[in-house]
Every structure is written in structure tokens, then in C-alpha cells.
Structure 1
Amino acid sequence: MADSEPVVVVADLVPLPGKEDAVEAALRRAVAATHEQDAGCELYAAHRSRTGFVVIEKWSSAEDLQKHGGGAAFAALSAELDGLLAESIEVSLLQPLPAGDGELGAL
């Protein structure tokens, strides 16, 4: 994956039983903070899933993603999630493979 290509990230978060509301609140704050603070963020959206939550992210480059990982918004989220998750966050880095319609075929 070249540094200047967009990077898509999917992060799965599984809350401890009874901690779903706290995780949701932390994610809502993190989404807003990331949108405001992190350059290169093209998409940062949280969703409910069958097992908890999924965050789908799109960064303009690997460098922008790396800066996000060292930034204030991510640090605050990590601190808030301490003790709320049943397992480590599962993170998948995806490289877009656009096809078909330019807008429909890529995230």
C-alpha cells in the first residue's frame, strides 16, 4: 500500500456486558473529535453491529492514519475505552480496489 493512496480501516469493538452505553458514548465523542481535529480524515463513522460496534474509517494516506493514531482524539478514545471492552479491538486495514462506477465502486 503506497503512502499516498487512501486507506480504509474497519475496527470491531466488543463491549463487556453492560458497558454498551459507555462504549457508544465514547465512540460518539471520538467521531466528533476526529472530524474536528484530524487532517486527512475522509470518513470516520461508528455503527452498531451484532457483537457491539464497528468503526469505518477512510484516510487520505497512510501518513494521515498514522497521525490519527498518535493524535488527541484517538488517545482520548483509548483512555475512555479502558476497562470497557471484552477483547482487544480488531483492526483491518483495507486497500481500495475501485471498480465499476467511480463513486459506487469505492468507499
Structure 2
Amino acid sequence: MSPAEGRWDDVRAALGKAIEQTHAQEPRVLRYAMHQGPDRLVMIEKYADEAALEAHTKSPALLELMGVLDGALSAPMDVQVLTPVPAGDPAKGEI
């Protein structure tokens, strides 16, 4: 996601809060981590299964986050659901 000018701190803070809530309240969310590039923030997420992803989409943390992000981004979010293609060392070849 690309925060709008002047909204970086707001977006990072909102994501940080959502991360804390998700880690505390959703044990089937295996990874939920924010990464920053020069012009965007990226969330890396991993779920135990499809049901865990579905539950997360209805979680209070995500619903609150979406409210904060409304109007705070310079472009629509680019959400991609990917399937791992493990290779090499299983401990290193998949997130």
C-alpha cells in the first residue's frame, strides 16, 4: 500500500495496532508482518488455512484498520494471494 503524502505515520501506526491485535487474538494467523520500501508498505501474511484467512477478513482488527486506511492511501491496495512454491531447504524456501 502507498500512503498518501503526510499520512505515512498514520498508516504505519494503524498497521502497528492491527498487527498487535492480530498477533494477540488470531492464533491461526501464522505471519502478519509489516515491511517498508521507499514508496510503500507491504504486509506479509500467512494463514494456517483458508478458514483462518476468512476469519481474519472479518476480524475487529482488520475492520478498524480499513476504516483508518480509507482516504489515507494514494492508490488502492494491491492485494495478492499467493501459493508457495517451495524449493531448496524447506526451512528457508517458504514463508
Judge same fold: TM > 0.5, yes or no.
Answer: yes
Deviation of 1:90 after TM superposition, in Å, equals 0.6
What is aligned with 1:47?
35
Q: How many residues are treated as equivalent by the alignment?
A: 95
Amino acid at match of 1:45: A
Say which structure is richer in strand. Answer: 1
Gaps (5+ residues) in structure 2?
none
How far apart are the structure 2 equivalents of 1:39 and 1:66? 14
Is the aligned partner of 1:92 residue 2:51? Answer: no
What RMSD in Å do the two structures reach over aligned CA positions?
A: 0.9
Residue aligning to 1:17 = 5
C-alpha distance in 2, partners of 1:39/1:79?
Answer: 23
Please name the residue that 1:82 is paired with. Answer: 70
Q: Distance in 1 between matches of 2:2 and 2:36?
A: 10
Structure 1 residue ranges without an equivalent (≥5):
1-12
Deviation at 1:83, TM superposition (A): 1.4
Offset of residue 63 of structure 1: 1.3
Contact 1:16 1:84 in 2 (8 A): yes
Aligned residue number for residue 103 of structure 1: 91
- The 2-side partners of 1:25 and 1:36 are apart by 17
TM-score (structure 2 length as normaliser): 0.94
TM-score, structure 1 normalization: 0.84
Aligned residue type for 2:39: T
Q: Which amino acid counterpart does residue 79 of structure 1 have in structure 2?
A: G
Bigger RCO of structures 1 and 2 (CA < 8 A, at least 6 apart):
1
Name the aligned partner's letter for residue 79 of structure 2.
V
Identity across the alignment (%):
36
Alignment match of 1:29 (pick from 17, 20, 38): 17
Which ranges of 4 or more aligned residues in structure 1 deviate by more than 6 Å? none
